[in-house]
Amino acid sequence: MLRARRSLDTALDITRVDARLRDILRLGVYQLRRLDRIPRHAAVSTSVELARATAGEAAARYVNQALRKVSVQAGGGERGAVASHPDWLVARWRERFGEAETAHLVAWNDRRPKLILQPAQWDLATLRLRLEGAGYRVEDAPFGAGLSIIRTPTAPRSPLPAGLPGYPEGAFIVQDPAQVLVCRFAAVPRGARLYDACAAPGGKAVMLTLRGARVTAGDRRPERLTRLAETARRVKVPVPIVAADLEAAPWAAGTWDTVLVDAPCSATGTMARHPDARWRVTPRAIARLAERQSRLLDAAAILVRPGGIVVYATCSLEAEENENQVNAFLSRHSAFERRPVADSVPAGLITSAGDFQALPWRHHIDGAYAARLERRHA
């Protein structure tokens, strides 16, 4: 529904509708126009009951009238080619990437993403064998970063991923290849002390620990750490967890070998997996996020020892959250310089400046960015 929201709103003239009813109407129209297996009367009656419970009898009558009108107009299983992102965002991408690549990006975002698993307690071969033995079709994820589950008519119907073989035993975590590649790009030596400063929900903390780093995971909101703790416990990975804001972190200067700043961002690189993000992000939000990212980088710089590394990462495609942010940081902190490690990731994922960048429509993974910044010895 979120991917199709633009066309649904056009059908409903949603700006004239009570805000409490908008999602109810969108769900109803989605069922009428996009789903073949749901009877029209069921789509209408369910929406009417939701409206009645939400806003009363008058609202129920309005929803009933609106959806019956759409039902008469709609063809079964309609798939209209309507713009599916906010105009301002598409215009922004066109300016940055050009017309053709923006069209590919929008098309990527409108496809249902694949479920990709990374081995944890089981190795890759065992995970593949057990999945195939249970009737699932699997293939290698891009860049050799995990296994992709291919949905087929003969595959078992299960509540993915919790219903997959090995889930209770901690056999795997769910993680896009882009995040694995960020961990590879970080090139953290085995045994290095690493503070993952914005760690929730915890995929990178787990992956970096599995790769041999001694990780401590922190986040400023304790409620976000619950999922991290559950994941680490399930996959049996020991990750100490602290509730701490990086801007006021309880660590002395120069404490850490590496600080990972997986910064809060606009998430424009992951809109295929999170279609709601395209409707939440605004130009003002991007500007606010960039300001906070700048403060987080400054705070991380203090915590890194001489010769240590700050790894800055986002799942954004926006320059002011990525390369512009890092360039500004380096202009403020002359003790730091870019220091990528050769062959840590394929050359096609490295920018001319030496940063990591994955672009969904080119690399067929989530969008992501990372810079590896070394603090010189005095």
Q: Which of 183, 198, 265, 315 is catalytic?
A: 315
Query: Which residues, in sequence order, are CB contacts of 291 under 8 Å at separation 6+?
Result: none
Higher-confidence position of 299 and 73: 299
Give yes or no for a contact between 114 and 160, defined as CB atoms under 8 angstroms apart.
Answer: no
User: pLDDT, tens digit, for every residue of 290-305?
Assistant: 999 999 999 999 999 9
* Residue 269 main-chain phi, psi, to 5 deg: -85, -10
Architecture of domain 115-174: 2-Layer Sandwich (3.30)
Q: State the span(s) of the chain assigned CATH 3.30.70.
A: 115-174
Q: Helix, strand or coil for residue 61?
A: helix
Residue whose pair of structure tokens reads 């609106």 in the numeric block: 66
Residue 315 a catalytic site member: yes
Q: State the span(s) of the chain assigned CATH 3.40.50.150.
A: 177-375
**CATH class of segment(s) 177-375:** alpha beta
Residue spans of alpha helices (H) in the chain: 5-12, 22-34, 40-55, 57-73, 87-97, 99-109, 124-133, 177-186, 203-210, 225-234, 277-280, 283-303, 323-332, 360-363
Q: Which two structure tokens, joined as six digits, stand for 121?
A: 């307690």
Residues β-bridged to residue 147? 117, 140
Distance CA 137, CA 105 (A): 27
- The pLDDT value given to residue 1: 85
User: pLDDT, tens digit, for every residue of 335-355?
Assistant: 999 999 999 999 999 999 999
User: pLDDT, tens digit, for every residue of 111-143?
Assistant: 989 999 999 999 999 999 999 998 899 999 999
Query: Which residues, in sequence order, are CB contacts of 230 under 8 Å at separation 6+?
Result: none
Residues β-bridged to residue 194? 215, 258
Q: Is the dihedral of CA 264, 269, 272, 276 positive or negative?
A: positive
Task: Work out the pLDDT band at 81, boundaries 50, 70, 90.
Answer: very low
Give yes or no for a contact between 117 and 126, defined as CB atoms under 8 angstroms apart.
Answer: no
- Residue 251: exposure state from Cβ atoms within 10 A (0-12, 13-18, ≥19): middle
User: pLDDT, tens digit, for every residue of 270-284?
Assistant: 999 999 999 999 999
pTM for the model stands at 0.89
